[in-house]
Amino acid sequence: MAVNVVVLAGAANGGPLREVSPAPNEALVEINGKPMIQYVIDGLEQAKSVGRIVIVAPPGEVEPHVHGRNLEFVPSRGHIVDNILEALKVLPDDEEFLVVSSDIPLVTGQIIDDLIALCRQRPADLYYPIVERQVAEARFPTAQRTYVTLRDGAFTGGNIFLVNPAIVGRVEQKIRAFLDYRKSPMKMVSLLGVGFTLRYLLLKNLTLQELEEKVSRMLDIRGAVVVAPWPEVGMDVDKPSDLELMRAILK
């Protein structure tokens, strides 16, 4: 069964990228003459496992600048969670869906297909890909990423989630907090309790399995951390140095 996709494109260009691009929306920041989100759309449309593509963006802001066969647009509402909820109004409530950020221009159809296949090797309600630091740095040695250090190694988060819609209502508030802290590993770990925080700060001896089990219990779901061999899923563009790197790679 094809997986429907929610593409998040609601962020105004008011952060660091504003210094190097006049685009009103981060998704429209140009990379070699093409909006960043178009690279993501192209990758999704190349994927054999992808069905409908729903783009969440301010009304009329992104739509005139992109093209594709299966695109649908819904208005953004501010917070990432609210934007996902808005997209779900037009998607089936009994089919898993993919959430993809609009700032990962290196993602390809093959990566999307392989990631979905990797996720489906085990049952879960929420899949979250991560990339090991040495894998990311081997492919992109100059990229500046945020890493979490665990007993298994150091990892950066991906920008793609595979979700069972049945869990959305009951995890909404806690997911909001995780997403608000996604650029601060210490704050994210603090949501898991004092014991976990101390182990992370003082001992660095948490394992991926322990982290996965703790988050699953806290959210009352089956969560799955997926170690992805494709660093492209973690290469988001949120600062000028990222944009410069993407322009060089995609030239």
pLDDT tens-digit profile of 87-116? 999 999 999 999 999 999 999 999 999 999
Inter-residue contact 131 to 158 (CB < 8 Å): yes
Q: Measured between alpha carbons, how far is 137 from 134 in angstroms, rounded to an integer?
A: 5
DSSP class of residue 167 equals G
Largest CA distance in the chain: 51
Q: Measured between alpha carbons, how far is 79 from 90 in angstroms, rounded to an integer?
A: 18
CATH architecture of 3-237: Alpha-Beta Complex (3.90)
pLDDT at residue 42, rounded to an integer: 98
pTM of structure:
0.91
pLDDT tens digits for 31-74? 999 999 999 999 999 999 999 999 999 999 999 999 999 899 99
Domain-by-domain residue ranges, the chain? 3-237
Closest CA to 158 of 85, 196, 106: 106
> From the centroid of its chain, how far is CA 161?
6
DSSP class of residue 105 equals T
